[in-house]
């Protein structure tokens, strides 16, 4: 079992819709969770992080964490074609400062 | 701040040759990471440093890869001898002790023929 798992996609949504991206992790003691966006040919950039169970909102983005189910999700409201990218979930395993990344979900927002 | 700086941006080499990738972290950052990205495996952590000391290199093939951080503002990742399966994008990233935001460099696209 991989430490961080994501559906590779592509996930296609129409412009203006809500895109829902999911991630599961195996280390139950993990404390910190991150969502990165990576455009083709570019480096990953951080868009959200979450530490506590529940929801965290930042503009059109909402991160959701459920530690009991070992599940993290990212919702993108009012999706735009410029949101088309690969979204990487990253986890900070317990007791370490390293980041384990999932393989990413490719999102396509159709105009 | 200039961000994480990596060089070269592209490297094409022949199998068996030595390759050296370079990274300058953001000034004041305590942690430096080397990742390798391929389509199949995604972003894999090779090694990370804290204040120049190796914290975890379990993801790095020790027979051909070596990583060093001789000072707080410079790190190298060396591959000797290189093989076609090493072809990938290599990212360097850094962060501060007190802030978990990880900043990535632009990456080095390595092609081993």
Tokens of B48: 């990370």
CB contact under 8 A, B100 and A32: yes
Is the CB of B102 less than 8 angstroms away from the CB of A46?
Answer: yes
**pLDDT confidence of residue B1:** 61
Our CA-based measurement puts residue A30 at a distance from the nearest CA of chain B, in whole angstroms, of 14
B59 touches chain A (CB under 8 A): no
- Give the C-alpha separation, B41 to A4, whole Å: 12
End-to-end CA distance of chain B: 36
Contact B33, B84 (CB under 8 A): no
* pLDDT 10s digits, A61-107: 999 999 999 999 999 999 999 999 999 999 998 878 889 999 999 99
Burial group, residue B1, by CB count within 10 angstroms (0-12, 13-18, 19+): exposed
Q: Residue A44: its chain B contacts at CB < 8 A?
A: 43, 91, 104
How far, in Å, CA of A24 to CA of B30, rounded? 29
């Amino acid at each position: 079992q991989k430490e961080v798992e994501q559906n590779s996609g592509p996930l296609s949504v129409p412009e203006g819709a809500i895109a829902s991206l999911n991630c599961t992790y195996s280390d139950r003691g993990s404390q910190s969770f991150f969502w990165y966006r990576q455009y083709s040919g570019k480096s990953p950039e951080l868009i959200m992080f979450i530490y506590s169970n529940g929801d965290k909102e930042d503009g059109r983005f909402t991160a959701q964490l459920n530690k009991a189910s070992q599940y993290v999700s990212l919702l993108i409201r009012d999706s735009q074609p410029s949101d088309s990218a690969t979204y990487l979930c990253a986890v900070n395993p317990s007791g370490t400062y390293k980041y384990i990344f999932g393989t990413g979900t490719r999102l396509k927002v159709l105009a | 701040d200039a961000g994480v700086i990596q060089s070269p941006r592209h490297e094409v080499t022949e199998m068996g040759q030595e390759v050296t990738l370079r990274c300058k972290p953001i000034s004041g950052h305590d942690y430096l990471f080397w990742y390798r990205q391929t389509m199949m495996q995604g972003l894999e952590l090779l090694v990370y440093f804290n204040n120049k000391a190796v914290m975890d290199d379990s993801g790095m093939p020790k027979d051909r890869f070596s990583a060093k951080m001789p000072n707080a503002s410079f790190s190298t990742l060396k591959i000797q001898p290189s093989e076609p399966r090493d072809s990938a994008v290599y990212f360097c990233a850094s962060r501060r002790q007190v802030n978990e935001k990880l900043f990535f460099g632009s990456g080095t696209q390595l092609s081993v023929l």
